[in-house]
Chain A
Amino acid sequence: GAGVSQSPSNKVTEKGKDVELRCDPISGHTALYWYRQSLGQGLEFLIYFQGNSAPDKSGLPSDRFSAERTGGSVSTLTIQRTQQEDSAVYLCASSPTGHEQYFGPGTRLTVT
């Protein structure tokens, strides 16, 4: 079946604008994760959903970042008033509970 998809694949935005990043997980996967990866760095955990609820939001870097998940499926990560330091690849992954994660291809965000 289809894997995890993310859109857009690339996004260039001006500083101060809001952006929405979308993740379509694998059907039936209850867990969904968002990560951020800056150039040459490891993965920075942002938020984790179990179903529609987010038991762990501890990784969100500031109140400009928010995420939601509806219907236990699609998730949207919103960054308000983007800053240059928000430039990174944003990765989404889904998994059946407690099992390996399946990653999407990522969204490369560039804030100019």
Chain B
Amino acid sequence: SQQGEEDPQALSIQEGENATMNCSYKTSINNLQWYRQNSGRGLVHLILIRSNEREKHSGRLRVTLDTSKKSSSLLITASRAADTASYFCAPLLTGNQFYFGTGTSLTVIP
């Protein structure tokens, strides 16, 4: 499969803690993106990291990319109840093909 594969499948933490989700993929990529989904409808883009970047920050989000290991991680710091959602990684392959994984379901307990 060319999909991004997220790990863990589900994560439950207390509000204020950090949440880390991992993603692995199998082929060369142009960039890798992380998305968030609430209530089973449309996804919202969170952050994009290019293949020549190793780390990127956006607010409370920190994304790392290790192309040698074909893996990425998403860290959400100081989590809030509103962060409860499913998170997906999407490697962008050559030819503008995105392949989403099954996602990590994050629950932040108030």
Q: Which residues of B pack against A, CB within 8 Å?
A: 3, 30-31, 33, 35, 40-45, 48, 88, 90, 92, 95-103
Q: Mark A26-63, 1 if CB is under 8 A from B, else 0.
A: 00000101010101011101001010000110000000
18 extra interface residue pairs, beta carbon distance < 8 Å, beyond A42-B101, A101-B43, A106-B41: A31-B96, A33-B98, A37-B40, A39-B40, A41-B102, A42-B88, A42-B103, A43-B100, A45-B97, A45-B100, A50-B96, A55-B95, A56-B95, A91-B42, A98-B92, A99-B48, A100-B48, A101-B33
Of the residues B31, B35, B90, B101, contact of A98 by C-beta under 8 Å: B31
Instruction: Determine if A104 is an interface residue (Cβ-Cβ < 8 Å).
Output: yes
From known contacts A43-B88, A55-B95, A98-B30, infer whether A103 and B100 are also in contact, taking CB-CB under 8 Å.
no
Closest A residue, CB atoms, query B3 = A42
Q: How far is the CA of A95 from the CA of B41 in the complex (A)?
A: 18
Give, as a whole number of angstroms, the nearest-CB distance from A102 to chain B: 7
Please state if A91 and B99 are interface contacts (CB–CB under 8 Å): no
Q: Mark A68-92, 1 if CB is under 8 A from B, else 0.
A: 0000000000000000000001010
Q: Which residues of A contact B103 (CB under 8 A)?
A: 42
Listed by A's residue number, 7 A-B pairs whose Cβ atoms lie within 8 Å are: A42-B88, A91-B43, A93-B43, A100-B48, A101-B35, A104-B42, A106-B41
Q: Which residues of A contact B101 (CB under 8 A)?
A: 42
From known contacts A56-B95, A102-B45, infer whether A89 and B100 are also in contact, taking CB-CB under 8 Å.
no
Please state if B42 and A98 are interface contacts (CB–CB under 8 Å): no
